[in-house]
Amino acid sequence: MLATESSLELAEDQRRRVVWRFDGGAGSDEQVTWLLGRGYHLVGKGLSNRRAEALARQVRRWDQYQDHWLGTVSAPIDYGHPVQVFVKKRLKKGKFLHSYYLTTLKVPSKGYFMSLYDNRGGAEVEQFRSDKGGLHLATRQKGSFLAQQGLILLTDLAHNLLADFHHYALSDSRFHPYGQKRIVNKLLNIPGKLIFADRTLARVELLSSHENAKDLRICLERYCFGD
């Protein structure tokens, strides 16, 4: 967290607008307290299943939300800042299982919070799935730890470059629905060349017989040269 804070140069007033989202294994009470002491907000799952069971016994009212039930309780410890606590129970194989969640955000309802929490991982899931399919992360394995780490970092860089390309080049074209896999397999493999003049990109040429060449050339020219 300190590395992220330093890299992004987050001042105190900026940290108050940052929300950390985490699952149950992300930190202890001490770490949560430290995080809030830095001024951040949080949306996360509690660490202890035993505590979840104890908090569930304190719930006075359960409201159904989708296939489980939600209740509210007081914070189990003093985190140094106001924290809302939600408890969830769900039925699995005839037995109720419990978990609890923390947030510093003001939410209008228990269901709203759970929807907010459930949506937390959408970006990560979609990124991993698209990186595995479009950038072949799962099939490119290196023998050493450092080599694999370097591959993952290069994949992250490629992911960001493709996201930037999709946003600025493809968003207003017929290629807008394309994900990473289709961009890599259907667009970026079209034979072509870049023409430079005085070390400056002057023209983009693509194989004219390819079905996507004409429309992609327009996208590439807009991406490289602007509107």
| Integer Cα distance of 227 and 224 in angstroms | 9
List domains and CATH numbers for the chain: 2-124 (3.90.350.10), 143-225 (no CATH)
| Integer Cα distance of 70 and 1 in angstroms | 30
Residues in Cβ contact with 53 at an 8 Å cutoff, skipping those fewer than 6 apart: 98
| Integer Cα distance of 46 and 117 in angstroms | 12
CB 107 within 8 A of CB 60: no
Residue-level pLDDT at 129: 56
Enumerate residue ranges in the chain where pLDDT < 50: 122-123
Rounded-to-10 torsion of CA 198, 200, 205, 211: 180
The residues with which 96 forms a beta bridge, in sequence order, are 91
| Integer Cα distance of 54 and 52 in angstroms | 5
Residues in Cβ contact with 147 at an 8 Å cutoff, skipping those fewer than 6 apart: none
Distances in Å between the Cα of 89 and the Cα atoms of 26, 30, 59, 67 are 21, 25, 11, 9
Residue-level pLDDT at 21: 86
Residue-level pLDDT at 33: 92
pTM summary value:
0.55
Half-sphere exposure of 172 (CA within 13 A, CB side): 8
Q: What are phi and psi of 24, to 5 degrees?
A: -60, -30
